[in-house]
Structure 1
Amino acid sequence: MADITVTTTDSIEGRAVSEYLGVVSGEAVIGANVVSDIAAGIRDVVGGRSGSYEKKIETGRQEAVTDIKAEAEQLGADAVVGATMDYEEMAEGMLWVNISGTAVKTRRA
């Protein structure tokens, strides 16, 4: 996969957008197993952060970013600008991660 830049900003320093190619998105659905649910519940009761959930969220984020880069590459883009990320609970223990933005071609400014 080409090195696609993904940024939340509308521009990339030192580069100018030469062509807008369209909206792209990437998604991931992640779930937690019973053991990590129990461990996270205990942490919630006694306080502290749930490392297992944090790792799952990070994995979901990385998968969604990989997906958006692949979709942008198929359009011939070298960057995605204006990216936004959303996390939604689909069902208990299931988390949907979505990232969307605009695929663009850029040139050195």
Structure 2
Amino acid sequence: MKRYCAVRIKCVGRKYYVRLSILTLTALLNLVSLAAYCQDGAAGVTNATDEVKKYFSIGIDLMYAVGAVLGLIGATKVYTKWNSGDQDTSKVASQWFGSCIFLVVVATILRGFFKVA
């Protein structure tokens, strides 16, 4: 039984389909890269910078929120350990408090370092 590809090349197996699809994909990527070279580079970089700054500010606010939630969870865990009489209450308290402080300090340093309003 003989099979023929879409471009009338005699196929022995699927390797010609793979080669044809790779060739088509390569040609398409070359066309896309050619279109990218025709764009204004400075305006694109400025737009990208503005978008990243917008999402960066949202990310910093998210880090503050995660720090607050971790603080509440940590306070609850320390309270239950303290009421149950566990010996490692201070260790758990310092770990939870340290993680909250770390998130807040990292968010503050990132905001100051990248001068995000």
TM-score (norm 2): 0.32
Instruction: Pick the structure with greater CA Rg.
Output: 2
Structure whose residues are more often strand by fraction? 1
Which structure exhibits the higher relative contact order, with contacts defined as CA atoms closer than 8 Å and separated by 6 or more residues? 1
TM-score (norm 1): 0.34
Structure whose residues are more often helix by fraction? 2
